[in-house]
Structure 1
Amino acid sequence: MATTIDPTDFVEVENGTLTFPNEKQQAKFELGVCMAVYKWEELTTAVENSWGGPKSAEKRDWISGIVIDLFKESSAVDIQLIEETLLYAMVDEFDVQVDNDSALEIAALVMAFFKQVREEKYDQIDALYARWQEKRDTQVGSKHVHVEEDPNNPDDSESEDDGEDDGEDDGDNDDMEVDEDKVKQKNEPVIDDDGFQLVQKKGRRR
């Protein structure tokens, strides 16, 4: 970040909590928190690699929730508190210790969003949300392509000549090789002098 972050920067209210009385403002702030958390590359890497288990994506949303709760339950929040909350969540939920300042940057972004929403300025939050939607739609579209291709052509790269019977051909090929060997053995004369006895009626599977 170009600007220096002051970890002690804070917001507070005299009475009550930092929840916005205006529903639109509260909704925009919560969206801003989610967009800030989704912008955290270290967390994105942890989710994409399922370091938090099969529910890694849900854990990321939970982290957004606990950051939002800091403002809902407190009369004062500073950047350092947000940073520590993010770092503890990464350790608890993903077993990842973040040693750089990335959590501090995300915390500062959350604080900036709070101040923007307080002044009813939503441009940055809306821009981030539009970009996130576009990225998500692109990823979903590409996933659909893969989901449709994979089950229909499981071993397409390996067997190009198998045409229609993909799954059965693989199994039948093995049986055909065994049958061919046995057919060769059946066609050979049985030579007692060598001490080999061929059991001709064994393993006929079709």
Structure 2
Amino acid sequence: MAQPAPTAPQSTNAPLTPTQTPYFENGMTILLNTWPALSMAVENEFGGPDSADKRDWMCGAVADLFNSDPTTDAEDLEDFLLQILSDEFETALEDDSAYTVSQRILLLRRQVAADDFSGANALNEFWEKNGGRNKPKVKVVKQGDSDDDEEEGDEDGEEGGDVEMDEAPQLVAVKERVEKVVDEDGFELVQKRRR
């Protein structure tokens, strides 16, 4: 499901006021939490069992980046996000989604700095409408794992109101799943995995 796209006002890179800051930080957190690449890394614990805590820390680190340097641009923010993905989640992206997220965060910041909270409110409505969940439904295999360590995202039959999303960017090659073969007596036959 696509997120609402804020419109682009022209504004300054001045520090945000205490009134503006919560709108920006909440919207930025939603943008990061709905970023498919980061969601996949957290869901599959690429950053270890505390991956969700690392994502929360990442949101705080982005807020701190803007507090320390309000003139941060999209390229700097992209580099910052990619560095965290690499260091904390051992993930390298093969797409431009980090730049896209960076642009959306900067656009949100410009809106909020101009006292236009419509983008932040739209993101908040999107988040609440979808139950605050963002679990990608994709199969992921970390590089270097054996075939037996395959993990899958949530199955379609589960309840919980998962967000329907565009396909997440592929982080690593996905291995093909072997179909079960059952004989006439109901026993599953052992199949060799295709390479």
Structure 2 length normalisation: TM-score?
0.60
**How many angstroms does 1:63 deviate by?**
1.0
Greater RCO (Cα-Cα under 8 Å, separation 6 or more): 2
Structure 2 counterpart of 1:76, which letter? T
Number of residues of Structure 1 aligned to a counterpart in Structure 2:
129
Seen in structure 2, the aligned counterparts of structure 1 residues 89 and 121 have a Cα distance that, compared at 3 Å, is same
2:190 aligns with: none
**How many angstroms does 1:142 deviate by?**
3.8
Contact persistence 1:32–1:125 (CA under 8 A): yes
Whole-Å separation in 1 of the counterparts to 2:96 and 2:133 = 30
Task: Give the fraction of aligned pairs with identical amino acids, expressed as a percent.
Answer: 31
Structure 1 counterpart of 2:99, which letter? L
Structure 2 residue corresponding to 1:129, chosen from 124, 132, 137: 124
1:42 aligns with 2:54: no
**How many angstroms does 1:11 deviate by?**
5.6
Contact persistence 2:13–2:110 (CA under 8 A): no
Equivalent residue runs for 1:170-181 within 5 Å: none
2:13 aligns with: 12
Give the unaligned 5+ runs of structure 2: 1-10, 135-157, 161-195
Contact persistence 1:11–1:78 (CA under 8 A): no
TM-superposition CA deviations, 1:137-159 (whole Å, max 9, x none): 678x946xxxxxxxxxxxxxxxx
Contact persistence 1:35–1:125 (CA under 8 A): no
Structure 2 counterpart of 1:105, which letter? T
TM-superposition CA deviations, 1:149-176 (whole Å, max 9, x none): xxxxxxxxxxxxxxxxxxxxxxxxxxxx
CA RMSD of aligned residues (A): 2.6
**How many angstroms does 1:106 deviate by?**
0.4
1:83 aligns with 2:90: no
1:63 aligns with: 58
Equivalent residue runs for 1:16-165 within 5 Å: 18=15, 20-21=16-17, 23-136=18-131, 142=159
Whole-Å separation in 2 of the counterparts to 1:138 and 1:108 = 23
Whole-Å separation in 1 of the counterparts to 2:133 and 2:67 = 34
Contact persistence 1:25–1:118 (CA under 8 A): yes
Whole-Å separation in 1 of the counterparts to 2:27 and 2:133 = 21
TM-superposition CA deviations, 1:101-155 (whole Å, max 9, x none): 000000000100111001111122212222222323678x946xxxxxxxxxxxx
Give the unaligned 5+ runs of structure 1: 1-9, 144-206
